Structure 1
Amino acid sequence: MKAAAFDYIRPETLGAAITLLSKHGPDAKLIAGGQSLLPALNLRLSAPGLLIDIGRLAELRDITLADRTLHIGAGCTHAHVMNHPIVQRHAPLIARALTEVAHPAIRARGTFGGSLANADPAAELPACALALDAVMHAQGPEGPRRIPAAHFFTSLFETALAPDEVLTGVDIPIQGDTQWGFAELARRTGDYAMVGLAAVARPGTIRLGWFSVGQTAILAHRAAAILTEGGPLEAACTALADDLPAHDDPQASAAMRLHLARVLLRRVVGAWGER
């Protein structure tokens, strides 16, 4: 099957892209790497009248560190983020998670912001953003807006972005005394995970970001509170039954997914004790 006919524009600036979005409304779609959008177009799951290509906007492709905040531009490819020395040093959770994203060809084209804005509940980056307490930067006709990751992912493939807003980048707070862990279980390398965990432990708080467990990536608040208070790991594993929604699909039953989630939590927290 081929995509339905559409018009294509490559604006020279972010402002021009926002103007086009505002003018064409729901009939327009942004494209950067296109690794999620193009298959949807070819399967006729999406049929916009206009594609607005923001993949070459230099203003969306910066990676900087200032005032204990790591900024990653939305237009950076997965491969660029994964291999960037600043990310590897200050946000190793992101670098590690990106090694599990599909395959090298997709990581070379897919974009950091595209994955977050797509809000696939089986993707790694939304869970990482939750675990790291990231802040999303959006830009629209009314100006810039900051959206905490905890309020960004609203439903299946839906975010808090307005239809005429562009995700421009992500801020990640950096602390020196931080432990992190990442694990996922998939049937084959490169497949979407049946369940996955991105975990961050900072002084006084632990955040457990889960993916492939429901309509969105989610934080396991009860399990994290038990671990933060120094409670036993097995109690935290038990609490996952309340934190994670029941979720049957062709990959796994809800009971199997809960069992696998507990396996991953034991692995990640157990590794912290070995460091």
Structure 2
Amino acid sequence: MLTRRQLRIKVMQTIFYFQRQQNDDLRDREKFLNQSMTQTYVLFLYMSQLLVKIHELAVERQKNVAKKLLASEEERTAPAFFAENIVLNKLRESQALVDALEQRKLDPWELDSKYVSNLYEKIIASPAYVMYTSVPESSYKKDLKFVIDIYQDIIAPSDEILDYLEDKNITWVDDYPLVNTAMLMFLRRIKASKDVKLPELVKETDDIKFTMELFRKTVLNQDELLERLEKRTPNWDKERIAPIDKVLIIMAQSEFLYFPSIPVKVSLNEYLEIAKDYSTPKSSTFINGILDSLLKDFEKNDQINKIGRGLM
């Protein structure tokens, strides 16, 4: 679920946060970074369970309609589509999701059912629901399209949900777009004939090792890495350099110098892209200029040692 770029962002956020806190305890920083990664997965579980709770409400509403003696055919049919949705039923029956929640002692939305109810009401009043219930034939493709549509158009853009999640965990604001993208990929992989499998936090176990090593190398060599930056900007007031830019420049240096298996171009491109999303409009140009200058010196002094062909 978390890519290398997203893991770099986690490291950047941790270094930036503790610089502002002026906390030099490495164990505290590492604990914060680990929690930041695991909490991203917790957010994924929250959003998965949100769909389950919405579906449970749909099932409950269908049962209530079925008890009505004078309910019209339309009143009976529309809730049935929602309640019998193949994708939502597979998710609701997922033992993997149940186990993941139990393992972390999580019971999302149980005490906050108003958010579930509000989303349910928005869904049944939406054009997506009208289109979904107007087609009499039932199919996996139709059910999946409905779930994707309501997630993209109603659930993910909900300011009420985002405010709620921000109150739960401040770091989830940054994780929210990532998790929503992961949710859509996850939903598309649900099959009617197979058990639901949850995605892993990272694709490769080495990715966690990379994250912690990048963090430690950057923090433990921070003075030296910052000194190189200051030598490249002697006429700049320190306040003029965006704090995030400083963090990205020292992290990039770490990858150039201490990660022999990562190509220089990959590292350079990754930090320029992160700067576009997290810093000022001019940051990527500034960072590119500084790193280009540093790379020339590193190469001149034979400080870059990459393993493998084409890694420069």
Q: What TM-score comes out, normalization by structure 2 length?
A: 0.21
Q: What TM-score comes out, normalization by structure 1 length?
A: 0.24
Higher relative contact order (CA 8 A, sep 6+): 2
Structure richer in helix, relative to its length = 2
Is the radius of gyration larger for structure 1 or structure 2?
2
